């Protein structure tokens, strides 16, 4: 049963007519090609752990048991149960969403020159980690107002607890120690890692909202990352930024084709 997880992740893929059948349950067949698709490619064959006829039987039996249970579930009408259909619909939406975004960003990557130029300009920011607090809100005017209050002497942690919508709010906006590339937003990192200890950023916009960032402490990384390691992080950051920009640009185009009405006041009634 230890291999059943491989098969439980997806529905049975119909076998090609010309493929050699290696197991059957009634008129449902399993081929080697099916297994390769199920485990995500031939590079994962080693994880099946097939070293003997006994282990081969164990893998095939795990598929047989799963197929029998699926058929039993369908025969009992579980696929018509509202709760089950809701979960299936949620999974369908997530799969479509991920596939559509993957299609948008397919092939997007920075050039070697862009990577090298960016790494040269921001080199020093990749050699340290920083203890960071932040406040994130959805309204830019509110963010500007909070920044003005901070400059006037209001306590950063108190404002974070009161206004920030992030999961770190109750901890005063504490994100702990992070390095370049860990926030998920290049504009956030550029603002954060140019600050000195105790400094507060201007309002920083990301796809998540409007941030105010405070650096509590900084420390140099030991050992210091090599130029090649830095370029790897830069590649990840620039690629992620390009992908986020492409997705948002696509969304802006798509939104023009829809009638969209928001009722924030109705949502607020539930809080």
**Confidence (pLDDT) at 246:** 97
**What are the φ/ψ torsions at residue 73 (nearest 5 degrees)?**
-65, -45
Tokens for 265? 């006041």
How do residues 84-96 score in pLDDT, each as one tens digit? 999 999 999 999 9
- Over residues 19-35, the mean pLDDT reads 93
**Confidence (pLDDT) at 271:** 81
How do residues 193-205 score in pLDDT, each as one tens digit? 999 999 999 999 9
* Average pLDDT of the residues of the chain: 91
- Over residues 100-116, the mean pLDDT reads 96
**Confidence (pLDDT) at 155:** 97
Q: What is the greatest pairwise CA distance in the chain? A: 75
**Confidence (pLDDT) at 97:** 97
Weakest-pLDDT range from 18-22, 110-114, 180-184, 243-247: 18-22
**Confidence (pLDDT) at 19:** 75
Question: Residue 7 pLDDT > 50, yes or no?
Answer: no
**Confidence (pLDDT) at 10:** 36
Identify the burial level of 136 via C-beta atoms within 10 angstroms of its C-beta, where 0-12 means exposed, 13-18 middle and 19 or more buried. buried
Residue with the larger pLDDT of the pair 119 and 3: 119
Question: Residue 2 pLDDT > 70, yes or no?
Answer: no
- Over residues 160-167, the mean pLDDT reads 96
Question: Residue 13 pLDDT > 90, yes or no?
Answer: no
pTM over 0.85: no
Name the strand (E) or helix (H) holding 218: strand 209-220
- pLDDT > 90: percent of the chain: 87
232/110 Cα distance (integer angstroms): 12
- Over residues 188-192, the mean pLDDT reads 97
Question: Residue 16 pLDDT > 80, yes or no?
Answer: no
How do residues 35-57 score in pLDDT, each as one tens digit? 999 999 999 988 888 999 999 99
220/234 Cα distance (integer angstroms): 18
Domain ranges in the chain?
4-80, 128-220
**Confidence (pLDDT) at 182:** 95
Domain 128-220 in this protein, CATH class: alpha beta
What one-character DSSP code corresponds to residue 78? G
DSSP per position, 185-211: -HHHHHHHTTPPTT-B---EEETTEEE
How do residues 224-249 score in pLDDT, each as one tens digit? 999 999 999 999 999 999 999 999 99
Hey, is 3 helix, strand or coil?
coil
State the SS3 of 115-182. Answer: HHHHHHHCHHHHCEEEEEEEEEECCHHHHHHHHHHHHCCCCHHHHHHHHCCCCCHHHCCEEEEECCCC
What is the distance, to the nearest Å, from the Cα of residue 86 to the centroid of all Cα atoms in its chain? Answer: 23
């Amino acid at each position: 049963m230890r291999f059943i997880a491989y098969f439980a992740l997806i529905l049975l893929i119909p076998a090609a007519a010309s493929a050699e059948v290696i197991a059957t349950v009634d008129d449902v067949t399993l081929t080697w090609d099916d297994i390769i698709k199920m485990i995500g490619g031939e590079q994962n064959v080693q994880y099946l752990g097939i070293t003997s006829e006994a282990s081969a039987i164990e893998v095939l039996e795990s598929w047989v048991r799963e197929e029998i249970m699926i058929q039993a579930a369908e025969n009992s009408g579980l696929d018509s149960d509202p709760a089950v259909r809701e979960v299936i619909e949620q999974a369908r939406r997530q799969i479509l969403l991920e596939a559509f975004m993957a299609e948008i960003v397919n092939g997007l990557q920075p050039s070697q020159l862009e990577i090298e130029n960016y790494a040269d300009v921001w080199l020093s920011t990749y050699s340290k980690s920083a203890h960071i607090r932040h406040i994130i809100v959805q309204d830019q005017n509110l963010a500007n107002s909070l920044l003005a209050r901070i400059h006037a002497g209001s306590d950063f942690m108190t404002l974070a607890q009161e206004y920030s919508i992030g999961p770190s709010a109750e901890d005063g906006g504490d994100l702990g120690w992070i390095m370049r590339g860990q926030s998920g937003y290049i504009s956030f990192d550029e603002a954060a890692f140019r600050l000195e200890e105790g400094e507060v950023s201007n309002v920083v916009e990301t796809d998540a909202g409007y941030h105010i960032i405070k650096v509590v402490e900084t420390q140099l990384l030991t050992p210091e990352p090599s130029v090649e390691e830095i370029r790897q992080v830069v590649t990840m950051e620039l690629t992620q930024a390009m992908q986020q920009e492409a997705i948002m640009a696509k969304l802006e185009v798509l939104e023009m084709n829809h009638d969209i009405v928001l009722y924030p006041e109705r949502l607020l009634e539930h809080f």
